[in-house]
Amino acid sequence: MFTGIVTDIGEIRALEQAGDLRARIGTAYDTAGIDIGASIASDGVCLTVIALGPDWYDVQISAETVSKTNLSSWSLGTRVNLERALRVGDELGGHIVSGHVDGVAEVVSVVDEGDSTRVKLRAPDELAKFIAPKGSVALNGTSLTVNEVEGAVFGINFIPHTKEVTTWGDVAVGDRVNLEIDTLARYVARLADMMQGQPGAP
């Protein structure tokens, strides 16, 4: 599990297609404290460490994961939001994030408002019902609060600190973004669907 609080910006140093996709990610983490088999969220995707170096780790990415996320757009030099798995006793500063991406959203608008940046994204239609104003979403592994929703389009405001410590300072129209729906929102929507199916429900 993760919190959506990005703690490092990694860099793609190598990509190899050999059956599955293998990626080498440069990091400022102390890799001496990372175990083989550890989980690290990389742009919001929970990936397993399979090899380690002094300032990098390798992950293996299945074809299924590549097809369901934006990882197919990774190239040498791509900057990646990183978060290590939540440990017992860690502060929960964002919201509970599983690292299992639900779909890919597309950036449709980027507008600077003072020092902050307002970004609008279009969610896949089947996920739009789970996104609500003031609710939480994880975008490329970052826990964020939704400002407004218009159909499948929703807006996020990025303050300068967020843009500095994540890759969101580089956001551009047309970017494809890993989207994970808040687990609570999913269960609330499921409960509402079940209630509508009950006799006498409105």
Give the integer Cα–Cα distance in Å for 170 and 64. Answer: 27
Give the integer Cα–Cα distance in Å for 145 and 142. Answer: 10
78 and 107 part of one domain: no
65 and 118 part of one domain: no
Q: Is residue 147 part of a domain?
A: yes
Query: What's the token pair of residue 157?
Result: 């405001």
Q: Is residue 201 part of a domain?
A: no
73 and 109 part of one domain: no
Which pTM value belongs to this model? 0.88
Residue 101 confidence (pLDDT): 94
Tell me which residue has tokens 């687990």.
Answer: 183
Residue 3 confidence (pLDDT): 85
Q: pLDDT tens digit string along 32-80? A: 999 999 999 999 999 999 999 999 999 999 999 999 999 999 999 999 9
69 and 122 part of one domain: no
Q: How many domains does the chain have?
A: 2
Domain carrying residue 166: 103-192
109 and 53 part of one domain: no
- Give the CATH number, domain containing residue 134: 2.40.30.20
Residue pair 64/20 in contact by the 8 Å Cβ criterion? no
- Quick count: other Cβ atoms within 10 Å of Cβ 115? 10
Regions in the chain scoring below 70 on pLDDT: 87-94, 184-194, 196-202
